[in-house]
Amino acid sequence: MKVRLLVNILGLLLPLACLGADTSGLCLQQVADSLRKKLPFATTATDSMRILSDLFDAVPRDKRDSVGVLAYEAAMRAGNETVALDMLRNLANIHFRNDSLLILDLERAMLFPESDSRSETITFIRMLHNMYQVRYATPEERDAELHRLLAEVNNVRKQDVYEQIATLHALCLYIGECSQGELLSAYMQKLGDLVESVPDAYSVRNCFYVQAAIVYTQNEEFSKAVEADRHLLECIDKLESGEQGFARKFRNYDGNRYVIYTRLLANYPILTDEEVETYYREAMRMVERNELSRQTNSVSGRPQIFYAMFSKNYAEALDLIGKYGAMPYNANIRRQILRMTIECAEAVGDKEALLDASREYNSLLEKVLDDRMVEKYKEYEIVYDIHRLKAEHSRATLMMQHRQLLMAVVCAVVLLVLLVVVAVLWRRSRGLARRNAAVSDELRAERDNLRLSQNELMKARDEARQASRIKSDFIKNMSSEVSVPLHTINEYTNLIIDCSEAGMKSYLRHFADMVAQSADVLTTIVNDVLNLSEIDSDSLHVEKKPSQLRYLCEIAADSVKHRVKSGVSLKVAEGLPDVSVVTDPQRILQVLVQLLKNAAKFTTEGSIEIGFKVDDGNDRVEIYVSDSGPGIPPDFSERIFERFVKLDSNSSGIGIGLSVARLVTERLGGVLELDTDYTGGARFVITLPVI
């Protein structure tokens, strides 16, 4: 990822080896020879500067360093700071693998007077230096620099916007070395907002948007990736027209356009038909008229593959993938290549290709998941450091506020003393003494009152904490102490029946079932109270992982089938798809069992059904539990979720089961509601996001 990022960034800022169609097919080598012949006849520093700037773009890359230095020196002699700074940026672009030369370029830029162009150049060189440091640092050095940058970003001191860009750019690079997840995207968004605030800094914008396009594509944030590439095309348009930066007639950006159009085409599922056609047509135009684009396309084939996929020409796409898919150039999009292969193979019925691609894709997904787990762990470490730094910042701010308050109090006291002195001079000393004494008494009384109030508040706080701990401990102990006796009662009840005479067993079994049912109700009440206590104390443990919904529905139905009354059927909806959601399977099972118990309690005839449906348009799944019982009036659709509310006072339980179910669902990021449109009984719906 790092190498591809540097290549793409530098590719947008460097000229190509030969000219495009505008030069009627002339080779840059001929242009370079012509410019060298003109150089001795230059009569002014400005003429030399212009010739050397054109020569810089015409000579091969390995010859540009010496030409660039001469062009920079000529611009300095001509007093043209704009061209001199532009040439420094181009030199830095060449020196990105040489730390010493990058520092030299930075020192040269810092000698210029304050201006936006100077700030842009310094920031651009610092961004290149950031990439150098990230690329060649050891893991230990990267870790230390990451923590230093986190502290600097969270520092209270104000920074210039360009300094913020350079610092935040470095932080994004270091985060990108260990995590490509949401944290990196969040900081990239902050960096993008800063870059947008300096719209004329074209080199900084280019550098950022190339990095952003790659990061957002890797994180599958395709809309943001497309937006970044469109910004890059706008920058190139302005560079070619001379509207931004220092325009040169021997610079060609066709190779850059080919890369950008190809990257845009990779996002064909979210593009309009017109956009896909335009980007493909432009990419092919670059291939026709530009040698570098042609060479890249010969080992890539990406535009043709993406266009065939967009056109649903699966047979052609499969042939193109077979030709280009395994080439080293496409290694970094291997996962996308495999997804397209699977789609094509399914469409054309190529089972062998489908099997091979599926195997490799599954293996690759396992590696991706392992990498994501490592990245997520590192991301949590970074977030922890951020929170720690913010806490330290808050403590420092609080201490500063305390000092400011102390200074304000001191100043107020000093002012009061001065007023007292003036009063002593203006009025008689006896009256002043009385007033001082009164003021002192009032201050002492106020101080004593404040201390008393503080002590009372601290005492009340400690008592509240102690009461909360006692409540939690009591509920936990109650759960343990009640569960064991209930289990013992059930066991001894069954033992009595087993030891009784054969004629009495059926008679006693009726009472044993009543004991077991009562014990089950009491256990449910205790567990509900315990869950409610965990939710209130914010100690409810949630561990999310991929879970199969159909499997959970089947387990839940099996868990409560013994509660269903005779004549009532309990079933899992037929034809449920294989849907996996990221949630806590134990907690969602707890909610489903609670809803099924509730349905079994009030349904005396008919059926109870559990199932789900997927809402692809909103990326969510709706799990439902419906019954043919008496139903719930719409006016009570929210009251039933309140604590200790029972519509039927004669029913078992204490009225907190539905309340616990809703709170647990909300902890999982979902919503539990009563379907008021359902008229066949009662129907509860759990809505969970599909992520």
| CATH code, domain with 644 | 3.30.565.10
Strand pairing of 545-548 and 580-583? antiparallel
Q: Is residue 330 part of a domain?
A: yes
Q: Is residue 277 part of a domain?
A: yes
* Cα–Cα distance for residue pair 82/53, rounded to 1 Å: 12
* Cα–Cα distance for residue pair 440/322, rounded to 1 Å: 93
- Classify 182 as helix, strand or coil: helix
Given 349, 371, 392, the domain boundary residue is: 349
The listed range with the strongest mean pLDDT (74-78, 467-471, 505-509, 642-646) is 74-78
pLDDT for residue 619 is more than 80: yes
Q: Is residue 335 part of a domain?
A: yes
Angle between helices 351-426 and 429-499 (to 10 degrees): 150
pLDDT for residue 645 is more than 60: yes
- Count each helix (H run) and each strand (E run) in the chain, helices first: 24, 7
* Cα–Cα distance for residue pair 42/348, rounded to 1 Å: 67
Q: What percent of the chain has pLDDT over 70?
A: 74
Which contiguous run of DSSP H or E holds residue 228?
A: helix 222-241
Residue 569 DSSP class: E
pLDDT for residue 596 is more than 80: yes
Q: Could you tell me the pLDDT band of residue 573, with boundaries at 50, 70 and 90?
A: very high
How many independent structural domains does the chain possess? 2
Residue by residue, what is the 3-state secondary structure of 14-79?
Answer: CCCCCCCHHHCCCCHHHHHHHHHHHHHHCCCHHHHHHHHHHHHHHCCHHHHHHHHHHHHHHHHHHC
By CB neighbour count within 10 A (0-12 exposed, 13-18 middle, 19+ buried), where does 464 fall? exposed
* Cα–Cα distance for residue pair 440/219, rounded to 1 Å: 67
* Cα–Cα distance for residue pair 117/10, rounded to 1 Å: 19
Which of 89-103, 216-230, 379-393 shows the lowest per-residue confidence on average (mean pLDDT)?
379-393
> Cβ–Cβ contacts within 10 Å for residue 313, how many?
15
* Cα–Cα distance for residue pair 46/63, rounded to 1 Å: 22
* Cα–Cα distance for residue pair 457/269, rounded to 1 Å: 61
Q: Could you tell me the pLDDT band of residue 264, with boundaries at 50, 70 and 90?
A: very high
Q: Vertex 548, ends 542 and 552: CA angle to 5°?
A: 75
* Cα–Cα distance for residue pair 204/195, rounded to 1 Å: 7
Structure tokens at 326: 């395994």
Structure tokens at 664: 């647990």
By CB neighbour count within 10 A (0-12 exposed, 13-18 middle, 19+ buried), where does 274 fall? exposed
> Cβ–Cβ contacts within 10 Å for residue 22, how many?
11
pLDDT for residue 134 is more than 70: yes
Asked if residue 76 lies in contact with residue 84, where contact means CB atoms within 8 angstroms, the answer is yes
Q: Is residue 609 part of a domain?
A: yes
- Region at 399 (left for phi over 0; alpha for psi -120 to 50; beta for the rest): alpha
Q: Is residue 90 part of a domain?
A: no
Q: Could you tell me the pLDDT band of residue 144, with boundaries at 50, 70 and 90?
A: confident
Given 320, 349, 378, the domain boundary residue is: 349
Asked if residue 651 lies in contact with residue 634, where contact means CB atoms within 8 angstroms, the answer is no
Q: Distance between terminal CA atoms of the chain?
A: 25
pLDDT for residue 323 is more than 80: yes
pLDDT for residue 24 is more than 70: no
Q: What is the mean pLDDT of the chain?
A: 79
pLDDT of residue 150: 79
Given 294, 323, 349, the domain boundary residue is: 349
* Cα–Cα distance for residue pair 662/671, rounded to 1 Å: 7
Q: What is the pLDDT of residues 397-409, one digit of tens each?
A: 566 666 666 776 6
Q: Is residue 195 part of a domain?
A: no
* Cα–Cα distance for residue pair 505/172, rounded to 1 Å: 74
Considering the entire predicted model, what is its pTM? Answer: 0.51
More confident residue, 506 or 587: 587
Q: Is residue 282 part of a domain?
A: yes
- Range(s) of the domain holding residue 307: 253-349
Q: Is residue 288 part of a domain?
A: yes
Distances (CA, A) of 401 to 395, 397, 404, 405: 10, 6, 5, 6
- Classify 606 as helix, strand or coil: strand
Alpha-carbon Rg for the chain, nearest whole angstrom, is 37
Asked if residue 600 lies in contact with residue 568, where contact means CB atoms within 8 angstroms, the answer is yes
> Cβ–Cβ contacts within 10 Å for residue 357, how many?
24
Which residues does 607 contact at the CB level (< 8 Å), separation at least 6?
568, 569, 570, 571, 627, 628
Which contiguous run of DSSP H or E holds residue 506?
A: helix 502-536
Spatial CA neighbour of 22 closest among 254, 235, 279, 232: 254
Q: What is the pLDDT of residues 456-482, one digit of tens each?
A: 777 767 665 665 565 555 555 565 566
